[in-house]
Amino acid sequence: MHIGFSAKDEAFRDEVRRFLDRELTDDLRATSALMTSVYGDRETMMTWQRKLVRQGWAVPSWPVEHGGCDWSPAQHYIFSSELSAAGAPALSPMGLGMCGPVLIGHGTAEQKAFYLPRILSGEDFWCQGYSEPNSGSDLASLQMSAVDDGDAFICNGHKLWTTHANLANRIFCLVRTSREDIPQRGITFVLIDMNTPGVEVTPIIMTSGEHIQNHVWFTDVRVPKANVVGRIGQGWTVAKYLLSFERGGHAYGPGLGVRLDKVRRMAREEQAGGARLADDPAFAAALDHAAVEIEALAFTELRYMAAASRGDAPGLEGSMFKTRGTELSQRLTELALEAVGFYAQPWQPHATRPGGPVPDAPRIAANGDPAGPRYSWPVTAKYFNDRAGSIYAGSNEIQRNIMAKGALGL
């Protein structure tokens, strides 16, 4: 496989780099380096989103008529790679990467005209209402009810692990509008205004100390039928469409490679007594092993990109990329913990840029300046936060079941 880029692609890479040099300020880079979650804080995300919207690059995978870019697969890969290499902060995927594509694929003309511009502008900030107390990986067992009431549904139920529900003004939900012999039937995809009477949000504080996840309670919440995306009772089809974006909507390889380089730099720093972890043969071997696996993933993504450029239909790659990408990400957090040594011990969320508020941060900050070098500050919180990576978007065990069934016929 030839993996070189054309002259046109190289010119595009230069254009992206010029944009990043101009718009990715030192403050944004510094904030991104201290992030502990896959999400940034809302202020940072929206600052960066507005810059990308002005450039026309906020939603490159959307159709051009809705603000997307007529890019080749190679250009999409280059753009993702350059964002990672430059240290650009992540954007919230709930609106741009999930709800937006679902509306484009399954929404009505009225829904697209109303919601898509508001997603781009940030006027609407979305969260996802999928998981329930007894319906996580087995999502089809969800119980949140939606009872027909003429031109609306009356919704009752409880969603949890809802990222940024404390900040969002809208939520897309899977609800049960009927009970059928097959649990995947009778599920409907609806859009709900978080300010509707009967919606209540309560926090879930993560092990990293951040308030990112939430419970969302629905008590007799009236949802207009005009807010149904797709057909009533056919929400499972819409949900699967959305999950294809959540699982395989970006390239993991470039970002993992950048993070591995950071761990290598950490390991070259002198620790107590002048020792460097980079000189330890076992740790050096662990870094090299991770490098080989990341490069293998990156080459697989390039093969997928080449197939997409020929018009080949995607297969099980989304499940494969999600599984390998999140597990390698967790591996890097473990190596980073080793690399910073005893500097991983202090818990100092006030020194980082978490994805949400940390209730105890003011009390911790009162103890004085952060301990250790700057690069060590987010390492422990990132380790704790990333434990969820193998669970969200469908647990990796479920992804392996999908791959075993689809590829091996098991």
Check residues 388 and 103 and name the one with the higher pLDDT.
103
> What is the pLDDT, as a whole number, of residue 207?
75
Give the CATH superfamily of 251-341+377-408. Answer: Butyryl-CoA Dehydrogenase, subunit A, domain 3 (1.20.140.10)
Top-confidence residue, 151 or 398: 151
- Residue 273 phi/psi, 5-degree rounding, is 80, 5
Q: Answer whether 41's CB lies under 8 Å from 353's CB.
A: yes
Q: What is the pLDDT of residues 285-318, one digit of tens each?
A: 999 999 999 999 988 888 877 766 666 655 678 7
392 neighbors 220 (Cβ within 8 angstroms): no
Minimum mean pLDDT among 112-126, 212-226, 289-303: which range? 289-303
- Taking residues 366-393, what's their average pLDDT? 88
Identify the pLDDT of residue 216. 98
**218 — pLDDT class (breaks 50, 70, 90):** very high
With CA atoms as reference, report the closest residue to 216 among 257, 170, 263.
Answer: 170
Across 375-410, b (16+ Cβ under 10 Å) vs e yields bbbbbbbbbbbbebbbbbbbbbebbeebbeeeeeee
pLDDT of residue 318: 79
Task: Please tell me the predicted confidence (pLDDT) of residue 190.
Answer: 98
pLDDT for 228 equals 98
- Over residues 57-93, the pLDDT tens digits come to 999 989 999 999 999 888 988 999 999 999 999 998 8
The mean pLDDT value of the chain amounts to 90
Residue range 170-191: mean pLDDT, rounded = 94
Provide the percentage of residues in the chain whose pLDDT is more than 90: 63
Higher-scoring residue by pLDDT: 55, 270? 55
259: Cα within 13 Å, side-chain hemisphere: 30
* Residue 408: pLDDT band with limits 50, 70, 90: confident
Q: For domain 125-243, give the fold.
A: Butyryl-CoA Dehydrogenase, subunit A; domain 2 (2.40.110)
pTM of the model: 0.87
Per-residue pLDDT tens for 120-132?
A: 999 999 999 999 9
Q: Worst-scoring range by mean pLDDT, 2-6, 20-24, 218-222, 288-292?
A: 2-6
**Residue 364's pLDDT is what?**
80
> Is-contact 115 103, C-beta < 8 A?
yes
Residue 374 exposure: Cα atoms within 13 Å on the Cβ side: 7
pLDDT of residue 251: 76
Averaged pLDDT for residues 4-29: 94
Q: What is the mean pLDDT of residues 258-268?
A: 95
Query: Is residue 321's pLDDT more than 60?
Result: yes
Q: What is the 3-state secondary structure (H, E, C) of the chain?
A: CCCCCCHHHHHHHHHHHHHHHHHCCHHHHHHHHCECCCCCCHHHHHHHHHHHHHHCCCCCCCCHHHCCCCCCHHHHHHHHHHHHHHCCCCCCHHHHHHHHHHHHHHCCHHHHHHHHHHHHHCCCCEEEECCECCECCCHHHCCCEEEECCCEEEEEEEECCCCCCCCCCEEEEEEECCCCCCCCCCEEEEEEECCCCCEEEEEEECCCCCEEEEEEEEEEEEEEHHHEECCCCEHHHHHHHHHHHHHHCCCCHHHHHHHHHHHHHHHHCECHHHCEHHHCHHHHHHHHHHHHHHHHHHHHHHHHHHHHHCCCCCCCHHHHHHHHHHHHHHHHHHHHHHHHHHHHCCCCHHHCECCCCCCCHHHHHCCCCCCCCHHHCCHHHHHHHHHHHHCCCCCHHHHHHHHHHHHHCC
pLDDT at 2: 57
Of the given ranges (30-34, 310-314, 317-321), which has the lowest mean pLDDT? 310-314
User: Quick one: pLDDT at residue 366?
Assistant: 81
Question: Is residue 99 pLDDT above 80, yes or no?
Answer: yes
Domain ranges of the chain: 7-91, 125-243, 251-341+377-408
